[in-house]
Structure 1
Amino acid sequence: MAPNFARNTLLGALSGAAVTLSGFVGSAIAARLLGPDDLGVVAYVVWCVTIAAAVSIMGSDVVPQRYIPSLRAMGKDDEVDGLVGAVVWLAMLVAVAVGVVLFVYLDGSRGGALARLSSQAQIVVIVIAMTWFICWRMSDVYLFNLKGEQRFDTLARISTVSALLRVTTTVGGAWLFGIPGALAGNIAGTFIPASRIFPLLRKKPRVNRDLRRELVGFTMVSWTIAIIGNLVFGRTQIIFLEHYSTIGAVGLFAAALTLAEIAAQLPQLLLSALLPRFSEQSGQGAHDHMMRLYTTMTALMAMLMLPLCLGLAAIAPALIPLVFGSDFADAAPVASILLIALAFSSLGGTTLQLILSLGKKRILLISNAVGLAGVIVLGFGLIPRYGLMGAAWSRGIVMVLVILIEIVYAAALLGFHPPYRALGSIALAAVAQGAVAYAVVLNIGGAVSLVIAFPAAIITYLVALRLFGVMRLVDPELASRLISHVPDRAKPLASLILGPLSPPTTERAEQD
């Protein structure tokens, strides 16, 4: 991996980790302060704003990451400013139109999900939601432009400060003002990047005819996929639960999703620099480099995600009450199902970035359309009868199905095959450590079990990776190359973790 790609990956991961961690901490504390019912109201409003943001995104997320690096690589720097101006203005105009629809919908919800609030509180919640929506769109446009320009150092700084503002505002707001205060933290988390969009608005929209023709098709497909994808991978089951069950069930489901989604953010964090990198290599015609990068990153993601998800699923019965409080204990089995499904669906993260970089959007449209059909069919089929567990199984089945379609497409039609043997060995190691963690939690129980389960699971996993020779299957020299990119102060720790996973010297010699 090139040094700049490794650096961008680290910075992108740090920036995303700050945002994710702040959201998790804020949500966990807010859950304890609010309880399942009030948290259900917050989750409902968050879902509404999230869907509105997806509808208004209009390709402003992937277009900068797809085209700015490619245009830079081809030496077409003069076309970048015009492209940025076009993307920013279109995104803002669409946001205004969608904002009107969001206001009308939330105002109509005052007799439903918002009914437990006073009339004055309902107005305050709607105003906060509208403000957050506009700030979110402005923030996203600026941050995606930073990713397209591969300015991950700036991205990391802004994201870290924004994360601190978000978590402090969410906790303080929930403590002092309840539901409106908890929602206000989202505004604080987007204010700084949103305020930096104005220089981009001064760029004159200008795109040449050939690029415009390509952009129109790419943007429309991207937009459709974003909308469908948010319905598929968002919290759409909340709508079914709110209708067929109680607002308290929505709160329990939201708590389970919060734990699952913090794990789901890891691929996005570590792969934040992958789409620009793939796009750059695609512009250079470096197909072989793309293949090597794809297999390596897929294996690395599996080495992180499989043990993380299966381990969290195993300890969920002890972890959920500890983090969210005893009122949320019923969310533990829901979280376990979601995490097990996430363990398998996370293997498609690199495949998604690859498909986006190659502009093969139609398969994403097909896979997400199949997923949306699954959400609707399973939502009506499982949730009315099985409630919380029906929502968990509905979401889990759809997640795995969508990613499976994309992986099969990349292998069969694009010729990009995942490292099957390495993935199989990693899966066995992850299952072993999950079983150890579950046995500890089952037999000991409570918060004390977590103190034992964590180190026991980690040791089991590392030993299993060594026994199965996973690093040899992935890349015998990968560990040494990763250690070489680590800062000098952190190299002893990195060597302690990665060193035992490397093949012995004799094995490497035999590979040579």
Structure 2
Amino acid sequence: MASMLRNSVVNTTAGVLSMFMGFICSIIVARTLGVEGTGIVAYALWFMTVATVVSDYGMPQATLRFIARDVSGDHLHSALLQTLLSRFVVTTAIMAVGIGTYALWLASGNDARGSSVWLATIVLFLSYAYSTISIGAAQGLGQFDRAAKMTLTGCVLQFFSVLGGALLFGPVGAILGHATRHLPQALDLRRYLGQTAERVREIPADVKIYARNNWISGSVFALFGARIELALIGFFFSIAQVGYYSIGLTMSGMIAQLAVFILAFVVPQFGAMHDNADDTAFASAFQETIRWLGIVIAPIAIGGASIASELIPVVFGEDFAPAVWPAVILLAFAIAQALASVISRAILAKNRSTDELRMMLVWCGATTVSLLITVPSYGQLGAAWIRGGASILLLLMLSIYCHRVLQLRLPVLALMKSTLAAAICGATAAYMLTIVSGLIGLLIAVSAAAPVYFLALFLLRAVTWKEIRPLFDGLKTRMRSSKAD
């Protein structure tokens, strides 16, 4: 449990940094490119994830889950990864060629702008795709510090590249700037490949099934369950409406991204517990992971929703005022999506990927039909409510499955306490904004709400000093060792 806690702290730190830099870059894009430019970049980022999931055939997820089983000794080279990567190169190359062909077709029709956007999206897609399999290898082998360093490097590059790219080349430059965020991790992949062309002769059957099921569920989710409303809003309304909605989607997406970083250790360590038939440790780790994720995510989601009405116009500009209410809804429900990701990883660690696939198909179908009915009439506000309701539905589906099939129970009382503490935190921030508005008001609101949240956690006994003290001791030790170096 100590190693899990430490790994979670390392990844949480990296996740907070990534979330913060993503937020800053979204501000840069909004301020420099306006509503329409923001919509174009949002489309590119959405397509980046879709193209990656559709073309990766579940290989990054299989790497994360099984690479530790393939590596022995002090070296980090994996024959399984070599084999998976050789196939990964083919599938991603086919996707890149397909996008490039479409870009050339646009160029032949004198749409130079559209063609350049799609060519830039190829770079973004490839950078992101190879970073996913690289980070799967790093985290699967417990190289969390290494992955965090790559995140730090990528975030620094992203800031300057997005700023310079947007100013000099518009949406195309911003898209290429976002590609630099993933480049350090992608290039670090060679660290796990070794000096030879060693490969496993045959991928084990359980790895194939795991990769296939992850690929199908991930592809369906990416195409129909995640951000499909961007395509629908763009089709029925305009690229400007996409720009508005993308602000809330970006903010809630950053919370989901933070959860991914926090939970990076879950699949390999949960998988090891399952492989060792240690059901007691698995159940305990499952509950503690959900509990601590709720403590971290709840104030960001609920607090963010409480200040969004002031935050968005001040930070992104008055032109983005129509983005406020969709953002409030999406942020308020983001905690459900984050908690569902823990349960999903527990199901996968139990090698129940087929069951997870079936549930994802049902959920994606219900979400897509609801969006098709709602978006044409109610636009981005309707899309936000459907997305929020879909997050609750997914959490309920996965929770019921875990309770009935895996005998894993959610720490409901602990989640209620952290949510209540977050609500008190959010109410404090909202009240402070009624006294002082603008940027100064936002700074005061956040500064006042943070200590209120920690106090509420202790008063509600959501956390105890006994639990927190090892973290402070560990931080002191690391600070002392850094000074000594």
Written as runs of structure 1 = structure 2, the 5 A alignment for 1:17-28 is 17-28=16-27
Are 1:396 and 2:388 counterparts? yes
Are 1:165 and 2:164 counterparts? no
Match of 1:478 in 2: 467
Contact conserved, 1:83 with 1:207, CA < 8 A, in 2?
A: no
Counterpart-to-counterpart distance in 1, 2:473 and 2:347: 30
Contact conserved, 1:256 with 1:331, CA < 8 A, in 2?
A: yes
- Once the two structures are TM-superposed, the CA of residue 43 in structure 1 deviates from its matched residue by 1.5
Please, which of 276, 284, 294 is the counterpart of residue 292 of structure 1? 284
Which range is displaced more, 453-462 or 42-51?
Answer: 453-462
Counterpart-to-counterpart distance in 2, 1:343 and 1:196: 32
Q: What are the Cα deviations for residues 91-140 of structure 1, in whole angstroms up to 9, with x where unaligned?
A: 111111222333345567789xxx9xx73333322221122222322232
Match of 2:334 in 1: 342
Contact conserved, 2:19 with 2:255, CA < 8 A, in 1?
A: no
Match of 1:426 in 2: 418
Contact conserved, 1:48 with 1:102, CA < 8 A, in 2?
A: no
Match of 2:459 in 1: 467
Please, which of 76, 80, 85 is the counterpart of residue 82 of structure 2? 85
Match of 2:199 in 1: 205
Which sections of structure 1, spanning at least 5 residues, go unmatched? 492-512
Which range is displaced more, 299-308 or 223-232?
Answer: 223-232
Contact conserved, 2:305 with 2:332, CA < 8 A, in 1?
A: yes
- Once the two structures are TM-superposed, the CA of residue 181 in structure 1 deviates from its matched residue by 0.8
Contact conserved, 1:232 with 1:371, CA < 8 A, in 2?
A: no
Match of 2:258 in 1: 266
Are 1:436 and 2:428 counterparts? yes
Contact conserved, 1:162 with 1:188, CA < 8 A, in 2?
A: yes
Match of 1:52 in 2: 51
Cα root mean square deviation, aligned: 2.7
SS in 1 for 2:59: coil
> Which AA in structure 1 matches 2:199?
P
- Once the two structures are TM-superposed, the CA of residue 300 in structure 1 deviates from its matched residue by 0.9
> Which AA in structure 2 matches 1:13?
T
Counterpart-to-counterpart distance in 2, 1:420 and 1:139: 35
Cα 1:489–1:15 shift into 2, 3 Å: closer
> Which AA in structure 2 matches 1:20?
M
Q: What are the Cα deviations for residues 56-86 of structure 1, in whole angstroms up to 9, with x where unaligned?
A: 12112211221123455xx699997321112
Match of 2:483 in 1: none
Counterpart-to-counterpart distance in 2, 1:78 and 1:489: 26
Q: What are the Cα deviations for residues 261-293 of structure 1, in whole angstroms up to 9, with x where unaligned?
A: 222222112111122211222222222111111
Are 1:219 and 2:208 counterparts? no
Are 1:178 and 2:170 counterparts? yes
Counterpart-to-counterpart distance in 2, 1:466 and 1:369: 41
Are 1:380 and 2:379 counterparts? no
Match of 2:99 in 1: 102
Counterpart-to-counterpart distance in 2, 1:429 and 1:380: 36
Cα 1:424–1:23 shift into 2, 3 Å: closer
Aligned length: 478
TM-score w.r.t. structure 1 length? 0.86
Match of 1:501 in 2: none
Please, which of 122, 138, 157 is the counterpart of residue 114 of structure 2? 122
Cα 1:485–1:289 shift into 2, 3 Å: farther
Match of 2:242 in 1: 250
Counterpart-to-counterpart distance in 1, 2:448 and 2:130: 45
- Once the two structures are TM-superposed, the CA of residue 257 in structure 1 deviates from its matched residue by 1.4
Counterpart-to-counterpart distance in 1, 2:76 and 2:440: 59
Match of 1:5 in 2: 4
Identity of aligned residues (%): 25
SS in 2 for 1:470: coil
> Which AA in structure 2 matches 1:69?
A
Counterpart-to-counterpart distance in 1, 2:105 and 2:393: 34
Q: What are the Cα deviations for residues 183-233 of structure 1, in whole angstroms up to 9, with x where unaligned?
A: 11123223333334456285433155xx62222211110101111222355
Which sections of structure 2, spanning at least 5 residues, go unmatched? 481-485
Please, which of 210, 220, 230 is the counterpart of residue 222 of structure 2? 230
SS in 2 for 1:305: helix
SS in 1 for 2:56: coil
- Once the two structures are TM-superposed, the CA of residue 26 in structure 1 deviates from its matched residue by 1.4
Contact conserved, 1:303 with 1:426, CA < 8 A, in 2?
A: yes
Counterpart-to-counterpart distance in 1, 2:416 and 2:45: 37
